[in-house]
């Protein structure tokens, strides 16, 4: 073995690069990435390229898939093209998932970081506050919030974020409790670093891997939440989404299965792709699983 090969063999691999290599070797995660990429590409086409109107009546109501030319997935109870609805409705649905996940992460990390870092009375107060939200039925609480305010996608995203953050807060607290007394945190405190710098610049970057996994899975949960609220008639009627398509056609399910099945399948595939990516990130960022 040459000197250069020996150096490459003993050269340490960065944790981020090792995680990326682990993720790329995970076939289900790669399948989820490809699947989600295809869904996002279709949604991008429907949102920014296609000029079709999802509310336009194009054919007879409840036309069977393939019954009419250029309407491969059939029509709903009003005669609107289901394929156009899928392409146009994917953007708002995914946007709700991303927005709700962002709200969940911001609230959860803020509460969990303060509780885990300061401990004592701050930890007790913040955890009691977290438990108050955690014991509330999430779907019912979200329904109340959406009902009190106008049922827009913004309101739905905020409601989902508010009911979903306790799990992220508990995970963040556990990571901060584990990390706050490690040597590099003690060293940062010894050189005069303030609490804000230690929390956001020292501890948080090292606690991010499990939080990234949690945020990824939250996107799928938020998409299911939006579909559930729309199914119950609490969706935004002015913005086409996959959940709204299911909710609008739920009363006609026994007469025509396709207006509900195809949006439901789109939601299933999207959540499946996000879940596979989340599992892949979990395996990649978990040092114990890298040895398998």
19: CB partners within 8 A, 6+ apart: 209, 284, 285
- What whole-number distance in Å separates Cα of residue 285 and Cα of residue 12? 17
Quick one: which of 124, 102, 108 has its CA closest to 204?
108
Give the containing element (helix H, strand E) for 117.
Answer: helix 82-118
Most confident residue range from 151-160, 245-254, 266-275: 266-275
Mean model confidence pLDDT for the chain: 87
Q: Which domain holds residue 48?
A: 20-290
Q: Which two tokens stand for residue 152?
A: 């827009």
Q: Does the pLDDT of residue 200 top 80, yes or no? A: yes
Q: What is the pLDDT of residues 52-110, one digit of tens each?
A: 899 999 999 999 998 888 899 999 999 999 999 999 999 999 999 899 999 999 999 99
Domain membership of residue 155 (yes or no) is: yes
pLDDT category, 3, cuts 50, 70, 90? very low
pLDDT reported for residue 12: 55
Q: Does the pLDDT of residue 211 top 70, yes or no? A: yes
Q: Does the pLDDT of residue 4 top 70, yes or no? A: no
Domain membership of residue 135 (yes or no) is: yes
pLDDT higher at 198 or 4: 198
Quick one: which of 227, 217, 161 has its CA closest to 32?
217
pLDDT reported for residue 13: 56
Q: What is the pLDDT of residues 215-266, one digit of tens each?
A: 888 898 888 888 888 888 888 888 899 989 998 898 888 889 999 999 999 9
Domain membership of residue 5 (yes or no) is: no
Domain membership of residue 9 (yes or no) is: no
Q: Does the pLDDT of residue 5 top 80, yes or no? A: no
pLDDT reported for residue 104: 93
Domain membership of residue 42 (yes or no) is: yes
- What whole-number distance in Å separates Cα of residue 280 and Cα of residue 213? 9
- What whole-number distance in Å separates Cα of residue 207 and Cα of residue 177? 10
pLDDT category, 151, cuts 50, 70, 90? confident
List the CATH number of the domain containing 272. 1.10.3720.10
Mean pLDDT of 201-221: 88
pLDDT higher at 283 or 32: 32
Domain membership of residue 15 (yes or no) is: no
Domain membership of residue 2 (yes or no) is: no
pLDDT reported for residue 7: 47
Residue 133: is it exposed, middle or buried by C-beta count within 10 angstroms (0-12/13-18/19+)? Answer: middle
**Per the structure, how many domains does the chain have?**
1
CB count within 10 Å of CB 283 equals 20
Q: Looking only at Cα atoms, what is the longest distance across the chain?
A: 75
Mean pLDDT of 157-184: 92
pLDDT reported for residue 291: 52
pLDDT reported for residue 29: 93
pLDDT category, 9, cuts 50, 70, 90? very low
Domain membership of residue 218 (yes or no) is: yes
pLDDT category, 205, cuts 50, 70, 90? confident
């Amino acid at each position: 073995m040459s000197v250069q090969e020996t150096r490459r063999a003993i050269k340490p691999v960065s944790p981020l690069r090792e995680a990326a290599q682990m993720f790329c070797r995970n076939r289900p995660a790669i399948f989820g990435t490809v699947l989600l990429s295809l869904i996002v590409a279709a949604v991008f086409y429907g949102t920014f390229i296609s000029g079709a109107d999802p509310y336009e009546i194009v054919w007879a109501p409840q036309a069977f898939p393939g019954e009419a030319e250029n309407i491969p997935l059939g029509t709903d109870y009003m005669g609107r093209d289901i394929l156009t609805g899928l392409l146009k409705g994917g953007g708002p649905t995914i946007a709700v998932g991303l927005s709700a996940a962002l709200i969940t992460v911001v609230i959860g990390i803020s509460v969990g970081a303060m509780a885990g870092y300061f401990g004592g009375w701050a930890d007790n107060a913040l955890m009691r506050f977290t438990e108050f939200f955690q014991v509330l039925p999430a779907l019912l609480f979200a329904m109340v919030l959406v009902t009190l305010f106008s049922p827009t996608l913004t309101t739905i995203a905020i409601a989902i974020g508010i009911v979903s953050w306790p799990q992220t807060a508990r995970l963040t607290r556990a990571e901060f409790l584990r990390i706050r007394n490690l040597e590099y945190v003690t060293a940062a405190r010894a050189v005069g670093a303030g609490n804000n710098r230690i929390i956001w610049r020292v501890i948080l970057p090292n606690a991010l891997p499990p939080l990234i996994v949690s945020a990824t899975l939250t996107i799928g949960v938020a998409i299911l939440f939006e579909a559930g609220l729309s199914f119950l008639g609490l969706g935004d009627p002015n913005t086409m989404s996959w959940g709204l398509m299911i909710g609008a056609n739920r009363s006609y399910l026994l007469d025509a299965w396709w207006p509900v099945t195809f949006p439901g399948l789109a939601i299933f595939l999207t959540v499946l792709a996000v879940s596979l990516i989340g599992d892949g990130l979990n395996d990649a960022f978990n040092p114990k699983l890298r040895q398998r």
